[in-house]
A and B are shown apart, each in its own frame.
Chain A
Amino acid sequence: MNEAESATSTENAEKALGAGFDPRILVFTCNWCSYAGADLAGTSRLQYPPNARIIRTMCSGRIEPTFVLEALRDGADGVIVTGCHPGDCHYVKGNFRAEKRFNFLKTALKQLGVEEDRVRLAWISAGEGEKFSLLIKDMIDKVRELGPNPFKST
C-alpha cells in the first residue's frame, strides 16, 4: 500500500468511526413474507434505527443482481435481499432462484473487490417482526464497521 492509499484508507476508517457516518441500507422485501414481517415489526412497535429503506416486489425471485449493483453504485452502503423461508415461498420456489442469483452476485462482488458483508440474504416470515428489526440493527452495525461505500459512482 503506498502512502496515498494508506492515507485514504485511514481517512475512510476515521470517517467510519466518526459520528458523521450514517449508513444507508436498502432492503428488498417480498410481498408475502418479509414485507409482512417488516409490517409486524411496526404493529409490534419494535424500534430499529431509521437507516433502512424498503422496496417491495412480489417475490424475492424477482430481484436481479443488477438491482443490487445499481443500488451500490448509487451509493447504498448495504443491501439486504429478503424473502420467505425455504419451502414457504408463495410462488413455490422463487426464493431458491433468489438464493442462486444471490450466491452468483456475491462471487461477482468479490471479483469487484466489494466487501461481502455489504450484501446479505435473509429469510423473514410474516410472523418474524422481531427478526426483521434485529436484522436491520445487525446490518447497520456491520456496515458501520465497514465504513461508507467506496464504490459509489461520482
Chain B
Amino acid sequence: MEEPKIGVFVCHCGINIGGVVNVPEVVEYAKTLPNVAWAEGNLYTCSEAGLSSIRDSIKKNGLNRVVVASCTPRTHEPLFRATCEDAGLNKYLFEMANIREQCSWVHSHEHEEATAKAKDVVRMAVARAKWLEPQDEPEVDVSDSAMVIGGGISGLTTAVSLANQGFKVHLIEKDAQLGGLTRRLGKIYPTLQDSSEILDPLIRTATSNENIQIYTSAALKDVSGYVGNFKVALTKGKEDVKLDVGTIVLASGALNYEPPKGSFQYGVLDKVVTQLQLEEMLAQGKLTEPERVLMIQCVGARTGEVWTYELSDMSKSFAARLLSKILGAKKEEGWPYCSKICCMNAIKNAIRIKELWPKAHVDVLFSDLRTYKEYEDFYRRARALEVKFIRYIREIPPDIAEAPGKKVRVTAYDTLAGVETEFLCDLVVLSTPLCPSKEDVMLARMLKVPLGPDGFFMEAHPKLRPVDCQSDGIFLAGTACGPKDIPESIISAQAAAARASILMGNKRLKTEALTADVNPDLCIGCGLCEELCPYGAHKIESGKSKTIAALCRGCGVCAADCPRRAITMRHYSDRQILAQVEAMMAK
C-alpha cells in the first residue's frame, strides 16, 4: 500500500459549526495527526470554493485520502465523493467526520467540550481513512418500469408523468375506484371548481395511456429486491400478480382525522360533522338552508402529545407505538402538528354556504388562522361575504349541547369581545387534520422505509431531498409524507416522477462497492455465510464460499459471523472499524 497522505478539510458551515466548535483549533490539531499531509478550514466546504480547494489540494499536495469534517454523510457524502473523483481520486478514499448533526448542533452551549469532541471525531475519521482502499463499483440493470402505490391525485399525476416519458407504470389502488381523498371533496379551493373537473380528465388520461397498468381493489403482499430490481407481489381481487419494477413511488395519501366519539359531541349529536362530511352533504344536496353554521378549527390538530419517550418504552418498537396511536386515536386527543389545509378548507366551505344561502350565518371559531400565500385574499373574500371569524382559546374549549328545535347550542369564549357568547346552530362543522393511517405502518415495514415523528413517511432530507426516501429507488408523492393541498401534492408528484425517471432513464446503475470478499485460503466451507445471507449472495462451491457481488447488499452479517474470519467487508473491514475504536480512546 502506498504511504497514506491524508487531507483534512474542516467546515465552519457558517456559524452552524464555527459558532460552537473552534474550527481553527481543530485544523491545527488535525495537522498533528499521523499521515495527515494537509489540513485547512473552509467557510463552507460544500461551496464551489471549498470543493475546488479539495480538488486543488489533492493535486498540489499529492493527497491520496480525503477527510471532510462537516455535516452528515447521509446528505453530503455523494457530493464530496464526486469531487474526489473529479480530481482523479477513487471515491472510496473519502471519509467524512460528522461534526454538525452529531456535535455542534447537539452541544450548542458547550464550546470547549464540542471542540474536544470534534477533534476526537476527526482523529477517528483520519484513523479510518488511513486504511481505506479504492473500490470498483458493480453495475446493475435498472428495470424501466415503476410501481406507483396509491391512485389518488398524486399517484395519478406521477403515473401519467412517468408514462409520458415512456416508462411502464403499474398503478396500485386499494379501493375499487381511483381518485383518493380528492374524489370525496366536492369543490376545491381557491378556484371553487368541482374536484371532478381536475380529477376526471386525469383519470381518463391515466386509463387510456397504454403505458399505465391500473390495479384497483389491489393489496400489496410483499416487496423485496433493491433499487432497479424490486420484486413485488400483490393481489387484485383474488388474482395473484407478480411485478418486477425499477422504482417505487409511494403516493398512499393520508386520512382525514375523525374525532373520538363524544369529543365536541361528535358521533353523539348528528348535527356535529367533520368538514369532509360537510363536503359530501353539499355534494349530495343533503344540506337544506341553515340559519347558522358554526365551524370549529384545529379539532384534533396542534394538540395531543408530541412524541416523548419514556425509558421504559425503549424496547417497544416505533412502529408498534405508532400503530397503537393510530388505532387508539379514537380515545386520544389528536395529532400534534398543523395540518395546514384546514383553514382554507373551512373558508372554502363557508364561502360555498354563503353563496348558496346568502342569509345563512356562518361563524368560524379559530385559535389561529393561517391563510398563507395567496389564500389571504380567500380569507378577505369570506369576510366580504360576512363570514364571522371568532377567536377562541384552546384552554377554554367551546361547550356544545343539544338545543330545542333540532338545534345545537355552542357556548364559546370570544377573546375579542371578552365575553362568553352563545350560538344557536343548525350545523357544527369540525375542521380536522390529515393524519397517517395504519396502512402506512404496514407499507413502511414492507418497504423498509422510515416514518417520521409525525407518523407520515419521512423524506431523506427535509430540505435537500424532499421527495426521496432514505432507501434508494423509493420516492414520496403527495400527502403520504405530510399534509398538503392539491397544488402541493401535484408538485411533489411531478418531482417524484422526475426523480424516479432519472434512475430509470440511465438504464444502468452503479451500486455501492460495499460487498463481501471471501479469502479462499482461510475459508473452510462451513456454509454459515450461505445460511445467514438474506440475499443468497454466498454459495459454497467445491468446499469454498463464493460471493455473488451483484446480489450482495453489504450488510456484513457474514463477515461478523464467519468463524474463520475469512470474509472482509469492502469499505467496512475489521481493520477500518477497529482503527476507529482505537482512535476514539487514543489522546
Contact = CB atoms under 8 A, between A and B. Distances in A.
Contact of B317 (A45, A70, A87): A87
Interface in A33-60: 33, 35-36, 38-43, 45-50, 53-59
B102 interface: yes
A94 B116 CA distance: 33
A16 interface: no
Contact of A97 (B453, B471, B560): B560
Contacts, number: 181
Contacts of B581: 26, 55, 67, 70-71, 74, 76
B582 A47 contact: no
B476 to A, nearest CB: 14
A135 B314 contact: yes
B482 interface: no
Nearest to A26: B584
Contacts of A138: 311
B449 to A, nearest CB: 9
B101 A39 contact: yes
B560 A64 contact: yes
B170 interface: no
B541 to A, nearest CB: 23
B361 to A, nearest CB: 44
Interface stretch (B27-35, B274-282, B404-412, B549-557): B549-557
Contacts of A128: 307, 309, 318, 453
A76 B492 CA distance: 46
Contacts of B480: none
A69 B161 CA distance: 54
Contacts of A43: 101, 105, 462
Contact of B580 (A24, A42, A55): A55
B441 to A, nearest CB: 11
Contacts of B439: none
Interface in B95-114: 98, 100-103, 105-110, 113-114
Contacts of A97: 532, 557, 560-561
A92 B124 CA distance: 29
Interface in B65-97: 72-74
Given A50-B117, A91-B557, A38 B309 contact: no
Contacts of A123: 314-315, 317-318
Given A53-B120, A61-B556, A127-B452, A92 B534 contact: yes
B106 A62 contact: no
Interface in B564-586: 569, 572, 574, 577-578, 580-582, 584-586
B448 interface: yes
A106 interface: no
Which range holds the interface residue count of chain A?
35 or more
Interface string B453-474: 1000010001000000011000
B300 interface: no
B50 to A, nearest CB: 20
A23 interface: no
A35 B572 contact: no
Nearest to A76: B585
A57 B572 contact: yes
B108 A39 contact: no
B74 A59 contact: no
A129 B458 CA distance: 13
Nearest to B105: A42
B582 A74 contact: yes
B67 to A, nearest CB: 14
A86 B561 CA distance: 19
Interface string A117-154: 00000110111111101110010000000000000000
Nearest to A87: B445
A58 B319 CA distance: 21
B308 A45 contact: no
B451 interface: yes
B514 interface: yes
A97 to B, nearest CB: 5
B171 to A, nearest CB: 26
Contact of B577 (A46, A57, A59): A57
B318 A125 contact: yes
A59 to B, nearest CB: 4
A129 B453 contact: yes
A53 B450 contact: no
B294 interface: no
B585 A58 contact: no
B45 to A, nearest CB: 17
Contact of A24 (B453, B569, B574, B585): B585
B470 A32 contact: yes
A50 to B, nearest CB: 4
A2 B493 CA distance: 73
B121 interface: yes
A131 B560 contact: no
Interface in A69-120: 70-71, 74-76, 85-94, 97, 101
A38 B101 CA distance: 7
B559 interface: yes
Contacts of A126: 450, 452, 458, 470
A61 B555 contact: yes
A129 B314 CA distance: 13
B102 A127 contact: no
B577 A90 contact: no
A71 B555 contact: no
Nearest to A97: B557
B569 A134 contact: no
B442 to A, nearest CB: 11
The 3 closest A-B pairs by CB, nearest first: A42-B101, A62-B556, A91-B555
Given A48-B107, A123-B315, A130-B453, 13 more contacts: A24-B585, A35-B72, A42-B106, A62-B572, A67-B578, A85-B317, A88-B445, A91-B555, A125-B318, A128-B318, A130-B308, A131-B309, A133-B106
